[in-house]
Structure 1
Amino acid sequence: MTTDATLVHPVPYHSQWASPELVPAILAGTMSAAEDPRWPEYGAESPAEYAWWSWRLCGMACLRMALEFWRKSAPPAMHLAAECLDAGAYVRRADGLDGLIYAPFAAYAERRWGLIAESRPTLPRTELPALIGAGRLVLLSVHPTIRDADPEPPQRGGHLVLAVGVTPDHVVIHNPSGLPGRSQEFAHVAWQALDRVYAGRGVVLGQPE
């Protein structure tokens, strides 16, 4: 599938870590997220709290991008995460975190932020050009290896990126765990490459007219 149109929305970028330039070292394990000097900007109470949550808040990074695009500002990631916990979009367990859970997240985004938000457990990527053309931004469930174009990812899904544009041959994404200068902001992902990592589900966000 291709589209004849090229449209990219000028959406601000946020990493799921406070320092986007440190993402390669954090992902490689050569430094701990707790060593990120900008951790207070996240809204966390300690480096340890920041480090735990930062690996899990790709969805909050996507929401922050959408809010800055449409509302011109966004709260810190931890503030949004706390609200999503209260809304049932995250469920904290002793050994981890369940979420982002799409339906309660969409309800929260509509109620709290006045956005159009649609949970899409089934979202064919063939719909993306029309959605982007209609002014929407789309959270897509992909495998994290979308950041380095792994030709054989182990599965689809598990990570959220924000689709901000389309070209005839690509979807254009902001990737909260992308690599600086390569796959963070306005990263062009070929449709065929998307097929390898995309789980076929997501959340569609929009601005009411």
Structure 2
Amino acid sequence: MTGSTIVHRVPYYSQWESADLVPEFITGARSAADDPLWQKSGADSREEYAFWAPRMCGMACLRMALDFWGHSVPPSMPLLHDALDAGAYARTGETTVKGLIYAPFADWVRRRWGLYAQARPELPLEEVDGEVSRGRLVLLSVHKTIRTLAPRPSGRGGHLVLAVGSGPGGVVLHNPSGLPGRSQQFHTVPWADLDRFYAGRGVVLGRAHQGAS
């Protein structure tokens, strides 16, 4: 890993509009339909918002990256609809969704915003460190219980977080479903801990000129 810690000052976005209520949403104590800020998402109804908000981690990561690089940041639901049109998500039933689908997602990001975007079905931790040190941001597929660093997660992958920093002490994450004041933003996860949750794949994002390195 790199000898010094690099942290990019990336703005944070939750996948729910009310980031302070994430603990209630993830435990089921409160339905996403009862998010008092749901209309900010651009959803047509509470029901549409409640269906997509738990599946919006990839869009939240993209919104963070767009803000960081000075692009206008669309509301989450219009962005999600565009991603669906681009094939980055696929509805597979009334209650199931396949996504985020990395290759069409990366193609869409390149076309629409002119950013560097590379789908990485195999992305070793050492390369995550290298990408961040070059000024890039990395969407990582991890198990959702990374928010508490659960000692024995039930699997790897299934949830997307954004690597915004890296160094000998670990990777620095923005987690769209992280816990307020604990693991939402600039949360350092030691490399050894990350290995328990990380599925070994992701998407690398950067400014267009960064693709040459």
Whether TM-score is above 0.5 comes out as yes
The secondary structure found in structure 1 opposite 2:55 is coil
Whole-angstrom CA distance in 1 between matches of 2:124 and 2:181: 29
Alignment of 1:37-48 (within 5 A): 37-48=36-47
Show the counterpart of 1:88.
87
Whole-angstrom CA distance in 2 between matches of 1:77 and 1:191: 30
Show the counterpart of 2:130.
130
Whole-angstrom CA distance in 2 between matches of 1:129 and 1:140: 12
Measured after TM superposition, the shift of residue 72 of structure 1 is 4.4
Measured after TM superposition, the shift of residue 73 of structure 1 is 2.7
TM-score, normalised to structure 2's length? 0.96
Report the residue type matching 2:192 in the other structure: Q
8 Å contact from structure 1 (residues 172, 188) kept in 2: yes
Show the counterpart of 1:10.
9
Show the counterpart of 2:30.
31
The secondary structure found in structure 2 opposite 1:71 is coil
Measured after TM superposition, the shift of residue 5 of structure 1 is 1.5
Give the alignment's Cα RMSD to 1 decimal. Answer: 0.9
Identity of aligned residues (%): 60
Show the counterpart of 2:191.
191
Report the residue type matching 1:155 in the other structure: G
Whole-angstrom CA distance in 2 between matches of 1:113 and 1:3: 29
Number of aligned residues: 208
Show the counterpart of 1:77.
76
8 Å contact from structure 2 (residues 156, 199) kept in 1: yes
**Structure 2 runs not aligned, ≥5 long:** none
Whole-angstrom CA distance in 1 between matches of 2:71 and 2:187: 22
* Displaced runs of 4 or more, over 4 A: none
**Structure 1 runs not aligned, ≥5 long:** none
Report the residue type matching 2:56 in the other structure: L
Whole-angstrom CA distance in 2 between matches of 1:93 and 1:131: 33
Whole-angstrom CA distance in 1 between matches of 2:169 and 2:10: 20
Whole-angstrom CA distance in 1 between matches of 2:138 and 2:190: 16
The secondary structure found in structure 1 opposite 2:203 is strand
